[in-house]
Structure 1
Amino acid sequence: MDPITDLTITMSHPDKSNTDKLKQACIATCESIEGANRTSIWRLQDNNQKIECLMCFDRQTHEFSSGQILSKSDFPEYFDAILENEHIVASDARNHPSTECFNADYFIPNDIYSLLDYILHQDFSPTGILCCESIGSFSQWQEQDSTSLRKISNVISMFFTPGE
């Protein structure tokens, strides 16, 4: 089975914990998006003034983490762009106008070069962000990558509320 079908089955299973659903969503995203070696799901908070990482998967180390918080006051260009456009395609994230704000505090310490993000929705309102990052090298995101990420975001949005 393909990763998106596996994800749909996991997300729709009533006995799966939210943690298991988040982990599967991150893994499926890594498997579906070539060049994404770190994926994460973030919850929008405080009237879209902050995002909190609910789950992050590092494909290289096979480790999960969570809890990081990023504030709009520190990264206004990114918050404005993701909320207005619902996605960001930044193959060169360190020089992209919507993401270069992350260089000192996030990209450089985490060795991130490329970013591909898509918004999560509930009832047509933004509730979170699905994020793909390329660590250690650039990824030239293709239209197929954006399409796959949108499909995964839709599956997550149908079955999981980031506020849960």
Structure 2
Amino acid sequence: MFIDLSEVTQRLRRMSSEELDVSGSYQSFLLDLICEGKDTLVVDQVSVWLFDDISNPKKLINVANTQWDNDLNAEDYPVLLCEEYPNYFKAISTGVSINATDAHSDPRTAEFRDTYLISNNITTMLDATIFKNGIPHGVVCCEGRGPLREWQSAEIAYAEMVADCCSRRLLVSELWTLQQQMTKLAFHDALTGLKNRRYLMDSGHREIRRHIRAGEQLSVVMLDIDHFKRINDSYGHEIGDVVLKAFAQCCQGTLRAEDCLCRLGGEEFIVLLPNTPTEGAREVAERLRISVEKNIIETAHHHIQVTVSCGVAQVNLAKPFSYSLKQVDHAIYDAKAQGRNCVVCC
């Protein structure tokens, strides 16, 4: 078989440069590359296998395959254990492509003879290593069921280009995942898992614009755990953290799905209540207050009960969101002055 490298390389380069959604499964963003490899090399199957741990690999995991009709769940991915195929794994770890004319007799692939090759009628294999930061990360495996095949240098070079394209896609996917994690960290409170102050301010401005367009009312509730400093002083900050997380879970369980509970910092929390007038917000605050008071927080050695003071305000849609936050903050001061464990509306 003759491959015009200049032609197939240009096609592969164009394909790999196209914008692609890498937020899905490996199968979804690698399938076009391995199908192109299958058609160009005229083989029966192309698959992508990745090491479980690049620094200390114990197994290869099949994450994409031209034979699959649909995506597989990650727990259903086929797996090869290193200890069962030592010659193959040793060959892959060198980074040199495996061009097995006769997969049954080649020492690098013969280990698969009884467990895979015979049952699937595989006769010949061409495997190209996928690299990550110069270290073998996995392999693109091209398999044929026809006559034995003497792999040409152009075919080996092309398979390696497919592996390199897969490597770039995998890198983009990892960067996307990292970006999502960084975004989550930027807008989430690490202790409680709630949205944080930064998210609240952005969301508040967006909700104001949305409620102006819809002609709806937007309300806000501030919650301040009563005497929280006493908890830290009496039980320690670790127990204080347990209380904060339990408080957040209790409040989340009381709110609607569309309500937005955020941690301002310390023991202060804010709830944004879309499409809610002041009286409705007061009722929500009262439910929160009662739920918190009834919720006994159990630790290894303590049963702790807390109460909360609540301030309620309707958001002034004609002014910056910070204005309404100041209003509800004043309501909290009034609630504290009135003996705590109560709700005060502006």
Identity of aligned pairs, percent? 23
| Map of 2:66 onto structure 1 | 57
Give the whole-Å Cα distance in 2 for the aligned partners of 1:111 and 1:160: 30
The TM-score with structure 1 as length reference comes to 0.84
Q: Does residue 12 of structure 2 align to residue 4 of structure 1? A: yes
* Contact 2:82–2:89 (CA under 8 A) maintained in structure 1: yes
Give the whole-Å Cα distance in 1 for the aligned partners of 2:158 and 2:141: 12
Q: Does residue 166 of structure 2 align to residue 160 of structure 1? A: no
Give the whole-Å Cα distance in 2 for the aligned partners of 1:95 and 1:84: 20
Among 104, 124, 147, the alignment partner of 1:114 is 124
Indicate the SS of the match to 1:160.
helix
1:150 Cα deviation after fit: 1.2
Give the whole-Å Cα distance in 2 for the aligned partners of 1:162 and 1:51: 21
* Contact 2:38–2:45 (CA under 8 A) maintained in structure 1: yes
* Contact 1:117–1:130 (CA under 8 A) maintained in structure 2: yes
Code of the aligned partner of 2:109: T
Greater helix percent: which structure?
Answer: 2
Show CA shifts across 1:33-71 (max 9, x none): 13x21000001114222101001113xxx8467611011
Give the whole-Å Cα distance in 2 for the aligned partners of 1:68 and 1:48: 16
RMSD between aligned residues:
2.4
1:14 Cα deviation after fit: 4.1
Q: Does residue 38 of structure 2 align to residue 41 of structure 1? A: no
* Contact 2:50–2:137 (CA under 8 A) maintained in structure 1: yes
Among 68, 74, 83, the alignment partner of 2:84 is 74
Q: How many residues align?
A: 158
Give the whole-Å Cα distance in 2 for the aligned partners of 1:98 and 1:162: 31
Give the whole-Å Cα distance in 2 for the aligned partners of 1:162 and 1:99: 31
The TM-score with structure 2 as length reference comes to 0.42
* Contact 1:72–1:79 (CA under 8 A) maintained in structure 2: yes
| Map of 2:21 onto structure 1 | 15
Give the whole-Å Cα distance in 2 for the aligned partners of 1:163 and 1:45: 16
Unaligned runs of 5+ in 1: none
Code of the aligned partner of 2:150: Q
Give the whole-Å Cα distance in 2 for the aligned partners of 1:82 and 1:89: 11
Show CA shifts across 1:9-39 (max 9, x none): 34xx2435443222112101112213x2100
Unaligned runs of 5+ in 2: 1-6, 175-346
Code of the aligned partner of 2:96: E
